[in-house]
Amino acid sequence: MSDPRIALVVEDRIARLTLRRPEKLNAIDAGMVDALLQACRDIERSEARVAILTGEGARSFSAGGDIAAWSNLDAEAFSRRWLRDGHDAFDALARLTIPLIAVLNGHTLGGGLELAACADLRIAEAHVKIGQPEPGLGIIPGWSGTQRASRRFGSSLVRRMALFGEVFSAEQALALGLVDQVVQTGEGTVAAEAAAQRVLKRAPRATELTKMLINAAEGEENARVVEALAGAAAAASADLAEGLAAYREKRPPAF
Protein backbone atom coordinates (compact mmCIF):
# COMPACT_ATOMS: atom_id res chain seq x y z
CA MET A 1 0.00 0.00 0.00
CA SER A 2 1.13 3.59 -0.67
CA ASP A 3 0.21 4.67 2.87
CA PRO A 4 0.98 2.36 5.79
CA ARG A 5 -2.00 3.75 7.67
CA ILE A 6 -4.29 1.82 5.32
CA ALA A 7 -3.39 -1.86 5.67
CA LEU A 8 -4.71 -4.52 3.30
CA VAL A 9 -4.12 -8.24 3.71
CA VAL A 10 -5.78 -10.81 1.44
CA GLU A 11 -5.68 -14.34 2.79
CA ASP A 12 -7.93 -17.38 2.44
CA ARG A 13 -10.21 -15.42 0.05
CA ILE A 14 -10.87 -12.73 2.71
CA ALA A 15 -9.62 -9.14 2.27
CA ARG A 16 -8.91 -7.50 5.63
CA LEU A 17 -8.73 -3.71 5.39
CA THR A 18 -7.66 -1.75 8.47
CA LEU A 19 -7.39 1.94 9.27
CA ARG A 20 -4.14 2.22 11.22
CA ARG A 21 -4.05 5.63 12.82
CA PRO A 22 -5.25 4.97 16.37
CA GLU A 23 -3.37 7.93 17.86
CA LYS A 24 -5.67 10.19 15.78
CA LEU A 25 -8.78 8.04 16.33
CA ASN A 26 -8.33 6.68 12.81
CA ALA A 27 -9.21 10.06 11.34
CA ILE A 28 -8.74 10.13 7.57
CA ASP A 29 -6.49 12.59 5.75
CA ALA A 30 -5.82 13.07 2.02
CA GLY A 31 -3.11 10.42 1.85
CA MET A 32 -5.40 7.87 3.46
CA VAL A 33 -8.18 8.75 1.01
CA ASP A 34 -5.85 7.97 -1.89
CA ALA A 35 -4.70 4.74 -0.26
CA LEU A 36 -8.27 3.67 0.42
CA LEU A 37 -9.14 4.06 -3.25
CA GLN A 38 -6.08 2.05 -4.24
CA ALA A 39 -6.99 -0.64 -1.72
CA CYS A 40 -10.39 -1.03 -3.36
CA ARG A 41 -8.71 -1.53 -6.74
CA ASP A 42 -6.35 -4.08 -5.21
CA ILE A 43 -9.27 -5.97 -3.63
CA GLU A 44 -11.10 -6.14 -6.95
CA ARG A 45 -8.02 -7.63 -8.60
CA SER A 46 -7.44 -10.17 -5.84
CA GLU A 47 -8.88 -13.60 -5.09
CA ALA A 48 -10.97 -12.16 -2.23
CA ARG A 49 -14.66 -13.04 -2.11
CA VAL A 50 -15.52 -11.02 0.99
CA ALA A 51 -13.92 -8.04 2.76
CA ILE A 52 -13.70 -6.93 6.39
CA LEU A 53 -13.10 -3.28 7.29
CA THR A 54 -12.09 -2.13 10.76
CA GLY A 55 -10.06 0.46 12.63
CA GLU A 56 -7.01 -0.17 14.77
CA GLY A 57 -7.44 0.22 18.52
CA ALA A 58 -10.57 0.17 20.67
CA ARG A 59 -11.30 3.90 20.95
CA SER A 60 -12.50 4.67 17.45
CA PHE A 61 -13.50 2.88 14.27
CA SER A 62 -12.98 6.26 12.64
CA ALA A 63 -13.51 9.82 13.77
CA GLY A 64 -14.04 10.72 10.09
CA GLY A 65 -12.16 13.35 8.15
CA ASP A 66 -9.11 14.74 9.91
CA ILE A 67 -9.96 18.35 10.78
CA ALA A 68 -6.32 19.34 10.49
CA ALA A 69 -6.27 17.98 6.93
CA TRP A 70 -9.17 20.03 5.60
CA SER A 71 -9.67 23.04 7.86
CA ASN A 72 -6.98 25.14 6.14
CA LEU A 73 -8.05 24.36 2.58
CA ASP A 74 -9.59 27.15 0.53
CA ALA A 75 -13.12 26.62 -0.75
CA GLU A 76 -12.00 25.44 -4.19
CA ALA A 77 -9.47 22.93 -2.88
CA PHE A 78 -11.97 21.69 -0.30
CA SER A 79 -14.59 21.04 -2.97
CA ARG A 80 -12.37 19.74 -5.76
CA ARG A 81 -9.85 17.68 -3.83
CA TRP A 82 -11.13 16.85 -0.39
CA LEU A 83 -14.80 16.19 -1.12
CA ARG A 84 -14.42 14.82 -4.65
CA ASP A 85 -11.52 12.51 -3.82
CA GLY A 86 -13.31 11.31 -0.71
CA HIS A 87 -16.40 10.51 -2.74
CA ASP A 88 -14.31 8.54 -5.23
CA ALA A 89 -12.82 6.41 -2.46
CA PHE A 90 -16.05 5.87 -0.55
CA ASP A 91 -17.97 5.09 -3.75
CA ALA A 92 -15.37 2.49 -4.67
CA LEU A 93 -15.75 0.92 -1.23
CA ALA A 94 -19.55 0.85 -1.42
CA ARG A 95 -19.43 -0.59 -4.93
CA LEU A 96 -16.99 -3.41 -4.29
CA THR A 97 -18.26 -6.43 -6.17
CA ILE A 98 -17.81 -8.57 -3.05
CA PRO A 99 -19.68 -8.19 0.25
CA LEU A 100 -18.12 -5.78 2.75
CA ILE A 101 -18.38 -6.23 6.52
CA ALA A 102 -17.58 -3.26 8.78
CA VAL A 103 -16.44 -3.95 12.33
CA LEU A 104 -17.26 -0.84 14.37
CA ASN A 105 -14.79 -1.50 17.14
CA GLY A 106 -14.84 2.07 18.44
CA HIS A 107 -16.74 5.31 18.14
CA THR A 108 -18.08 5.90 14.64
CA LEU A 109 -18.57 9.58 13.98
CA GLY A 110 -18.95 11.84 10.95
CA GLY A 111 -16.93 10.43 8.08
CA GLY A 112 -16.56 7.25 10.12
CA LEU A 113 -20.30 6.70 9.83
CA GLU A 114 -20.11 7.51 6.12
CA LEU A 115 -17.40 4.86 5.88
CA ALA A 116 -19.56 2.36 7.75
CA ALA A 117 -22.49 3.15 5.45
CA CYS A 118 -20.46 1.73 2.57
CA ALA A 119 -20.62 -1.75 4.12
CA ASP A 120 -23.15 -4.49 3.47
CA LEU A 121 -23.07 -5.60 7.12
CA ARG A 122 -22.20 -3.52 10.19
CA ILE A 123 -21.13 -5.21 13.42
CA ALA A 124 -20.80 -2.85 16.39
CA GLU A 125 -19.02 -3.56 19.64
CA ALA A 126 -20.99 -2.73 22.77
CA HIS A 127 -19.12 0.45 23.76
CA VAL A 128 -19.53 2.22 20.43
CA LYS A 129 -21.19 5.62 19.94
CA ILE A 130 -22.49 6.67 16.52
CA GLY A 131 -23.30 10.16 15.27
CA GLN A 132 -22.84 12.95 12.74
CA PRO A 133 -21.27 15.99 14.42
CA GLU A 134 -20.29 17.91 11.27
CA PRO A 135 -22.91 20.71 11.36
CA GLY A 136 -21.75 21.49 14.89
CA LEU A 137 -18.39 22.36 13.34
CA GLY A 138 -19.94 24.49 10.59
CA ILE A 139 -19.55 21.88 7.86
CA ILE A 140 -21.81 19.35 6.16
CA PRO A 141 -21.53 15.53 6.16
CA GLY A 142 -19.65 15.66 2.88
CA TRP A 143 -18.75 12.06 1.97
CA SER A 144 -22.34 11.01 1.19
CA GLY A 145 -23.44 11.43 4.80
CA THR A 146 -26.75 12.83 3.61
CA GLN A 147 -27.15 10.77 0.42
CA ARG A 148 -25.90 7.19 0.89
CA ALA A 149 -26.59 7.38 4.63
CA SER A 150 -30.21 8.39 3.95
CA ARG A 151 -30.64 5.58 1.43
CA ARG A 152 -29.25 2.96 3.78
CA PHE A 153 -30.49 4.18 7.17
CA GLY A 154 -33.46 6.34 6.30
CA SER A 155 -33.58 10.13 6.18
CA SER A 156 -35.30 10.39 9.58
CA LEU A 157 -32.28 8.91 11.35
CA VAL A 158 -29.90 11.12 9.39
CA ARG A 159 -31.97 14.16 10.40
CA ARG A 160 -31.80 13.16 14.06
CA MET A 161 -28.02 12.81 13.95
CA ALA A 162 -27.04 15.60 11.55
CA LEU A 163 -29.66 18.25 12.34
CA PHE A 164 -30.38 17.58 16.01
CA GLY A 165 -27.05 16.20 17.14
CA GLU A 166 -28.27 12.89 18.57
CA VAL A 167 -25.57 10.34 19.31
CA PHE A 168 -26.62 6.70 19.60
CA SER A 169 -25.23 3.84 21.63
CA ALA A 170 -24.59 0.49 19.97
CA GLU A 171 -27.84 -0.97 21.32
CA GLN A 172 -29.82 2.05 20.18
CA ALA A 173 -28.16 1.83 16.78
CA LEU A 174 -29.17 -1.82 16.52
CA ALA A 175 -32.79 -1.04 17.34
CA LEU A 176 -32.80 1.80 14.81
CA GLY A 177 -31.18 -0.18 12.02
CA LEU A 178 -27.89 1.70 11.93
CA VAL A 179 -26.03 -1.53 12.66
CA ASP A 180 -26.92 -5.17 12.07
CA GLN A 181 -25.34 -6.84 15.08
CA VAL A 182 -23.94 -5.86 18.49
CA VAL A 183 -21.27 -7.92 20.21
CA GLN A 184 -19.19 -7.53 23.33
CA THR A 185 -16.19 -5.22 23.19
CA GLY A 186 -13.28 -7.03 21.57
CA GLU A 187 -15.44 -9.60 19.79
CA GLY A 188 -16.22 -7.71 16.60
CA THR A 189 -13.51 -9.31 14.49
CA VAL A 190 -14.56 -12.81 15.57
CA ALA A 191 -18.16 -12.06 14.56
CA ALA A 192 -16.98 -10.62 11.24
CA GLU A 193 -14.87 -13.67 10.47
CA ALA A 194 -17.90 -15.88 11.12
CA ALA A 195 -20.00 -13.76 8.77
CA ALA A 196 -17.25 -13.92 6.15
CA GLN A 197 -17.27 -17.71 6.32
CA ARG A 198 -21.00 -17.68 5.61
CA VAL A 199 -20.34 -15.63 2.48
CA LEU A 200 -17.65 -18.07 1.33
CA LYS A 201 -20.19 -20.90 1.37
CA ARG A 202 -22.32 -19.13 -1.22
CA ALA A 203 -21.81 -19.08 -4.98
CA PRO A 204 -19.43 -16.21 -5.80
CA ARG A 205 -20.96 -15.08 -9.09
CA ALA A 206 -24.51 -15.22 -7.77
CA THR A 207 -23.41 -13.27 -4.70
CA GLU A 208 -21.74 -10.62 -6.84
CA LEU A 209 -24.79 -10.23 -9.09
CA THR A 210 -27.15 -10.10 -6.12
CA LYS A 211 -25.12 -7.33 -4.50
CA MET A 212 -25.15 -5.38 -7.76
CA LEU A 213 -28.93 -5.68 -7.97
CA ILE A 214 -29.40 -4.58 -4.35
CA ASN A 215 -27.15 -1.58 -5.00
CA ALA A 216 -29.21 -0.74 -8.06
CA ALA A 217 -32.42 -0.98 -6.04
CA GLU A 218 -30.94 1.58 -3.63
CA GLY A 219 -29.90 3.86 -6.49
CA GLU A 220 -26.24 3.25 -5.67
CA GLU A 221 -24.96 2.58 -9.18
CA ASN A 222 -27.81 2.09 -11.60
CA ALA A 223 -25.94 2.90 -14.81
CA ARG A 224 -22.98 0.63 -14.06
CA VAL A 225 -25.23 -2.25 -13.01
CA VAL A 226 -27.31 -2.05 -16.18
CA GLU A 227 -24.23 -1.91 -18.41
CA ALA A 228 -22.41 -4.66 -16.50
CA LEU A 229 -25.35 -7.05 -16.68
CA ALA A 230 -26.01 -6.26 -20.33
CA GLY A 231 -22.31 -6.66 -21.11
CA ALA A 232 -22.20 -10.03 -19.35
CA ALA A 233 -25.22 -11.21 -21.35
CA ALA A 234 -23.62 -10.08 -24.61
CA ALA A 235 -20.29 -11.71 -23.70
CA ALA A 236 -22.03 -15.05 -23.20
CA SER A 237 -23.91 -14.88 -26.50
CA ALA A 238 -23.27 -16.75 -29.73
CA ASP A 239 -23.28 -13.36 -31.45
CA LEU A 240 -20.06 -12.35 -29.72
CA ALA A 241 -18.39 -15.65 -30.53
CA GLU A 242 -19.31 -15.26 -34.20
CA GLY A 243 -18.32 -11.61 -34.27
CA LEU A 244 -14.87 -12.31 -32.86
CA ALA A 245 -14.38 -15.31 -35.14
CA ALA A 246 -15.27 -13.20 -38.17
CA TYR A 247 -12.86 -10.46 -37.06
CA ARG A 248 -10.00 -12.93 -36.63
CA GLU A 249 -10.79 -14.63 -39.96
CA LYS A 250 -11.23 -11.32 -41.78
CA ARG A 251 -14.70 -12.16 -43.10
CA PRO A 252 -18.21 -10.72 -42.68
CA PRO A 253 -19.98 -12.12 -39.59
CA ALA A 254 -22.88 -14.50 -40.18
CA PHE A 255 -25.29 -13.37 -37.47
CA triple 59-38-132, angle to 5 deg: 40
Active site residue 227: no
Looking at residue 9, what DSSP letter applies?
Answer: E
Task: Report the C-alpha gap between 90 and 54 in whole angstroms.
Answer: 14
Task: Report the C-alpha gap between 27 and 55 in whole angstroms.
Answer: 10
Task: Report the C-alpha gap between 207 and 99 in whole angstroms.
Answer: 8
Q: Which amino acid, 209? A: L
Q: Which runs of E-coded beta strand occur in the chain?
A: 6-11, 14-19, 50-55, 60-62, 100-104, 107-109, 121-125, 129-131, 168-169, 181-183
Task: Report the C-alpha gap between 230 and 232 in whole angstroms.
Answer: 5
Catalytic residue among 56, 114, 125, 220: 114
Residues linked to residue 123 through DSSP beta bridges, in sequence order: 103, 181
Active site residue 134: yes
Catalytic residue among 56, 125, 134, 220: 134
The set of catalytic residues is: 114, 134
